Chain A
Amino acid sequence: MAATKRAPSYRVASDPSIRVTVANLGLACCTLEVEAAVRSGLLVPDDGTDEGRTVLLVSGTVTEALAPAVSAALTSLPPDTRVVAFGACATSGGPYWDAPTVVGGVDLLVPVATYVPGCPPRPEALVAAVIAGAA
């Protein structure tokens, strides 16, 4: 799927051995905090090598329509990739847990290593959780 082929990758500035691939599937508010992490220098552009550990960051509300893309994103990454559920929606469906078309947490689709609370979590929480999730 086109979205996963172009999934952007970054490195954690304070620990460049960790590569963060963002499953940016057009999901909402939490994506902006990932952007803020990039803009503020907490995440830096990937150097393109395969070195280091990979974290798949799923940020935002996952709907039934987008569920296959989340699973596909993981299969396109190295087998030891750890998934970080970023924000309430990725963790549990968040405020939309009651919506029939919302998946109540990405752990229904893929194994999750770390759940980051927040609505949205701040960029610093992203870095702290990604470092913990990659461990």
Chain B
Amino acid sequence: MTVPANARGVIGLIPSACTSCMLCVRECPTWCITLDSHSEQVSEPGARRPKAVSVLDAFSIDYGLCMYCGICIDVCPFDALEWHADFDYAATDRSGLVQSTDQLADWSDGSNSISTISPS
């Protein structure tokens, strides 16, 4: 039995696409997403004055609480969250299931491969 490529195994983050809008955090039914950001002034060439942009500091999903509903993926206006089929990320303690920005980004940048297990 191979794992289908569209399996809801884990949610990955594309940090460069995230604007810290907090929609995913607010819509998550189990409150398992946390996001920290701060505001910076950015000068654009040719612009009369600098504009304020949000900078993502930390993004985390507590997979011990996550119910894999996908609402966060559905509401993100920038497609910064996506499904991946990986499932082998159990942990020996609760904190090991809280994945932060780098771990979430690893799922999406292809540094983790999709595992398949067949019955012997």
Contact = CB atoms under 8 A, between A and B. Distances in A.
Direct contact of A and B (CB under 8 A): yes
Interface of A: 13-14, 40-42, 88, 91-92, 94-95, 97, 105, 107, 113-119, 121-125, 127-129, 132-133
Given A105-B94, A132-B90, A118 B120 contact: no
Interface centre among A41, A91, A123, A132, by most B CB within 10 Å? A91
Contacts of B9: 122
23 contacts: A13-B119, A40-B119, A42-B117, A88-B30, A88-B66, A91-B94, A95-B30, A95-B65, A105-B94, A115-B92, A115-B94, A115-B97, A117-B63, A117-B89, A117-B91, A117-B97, A119-B67, A119-B68, A121-B87, A124-B1, A128-B115, A128-B117, A133-B90
B68 A115 contact: no
A116 B90 contact: yes
B3 A119 contact: no
B96 interface: yes
Interface of B: 1, 3, 7, 9, 29-30, 62-69, 87-94, 96-97, 115-117, 119-120
A76 to B, nearest CB: 24
B56 to A, nearest CB: 23
Nearest to A122: B87
Contact of B88 (A13, A97, A119, A125): A125
A125 B87 contact: yes
Given A88-B64, A94-B30, A95-B67, A124 B93 contact: no
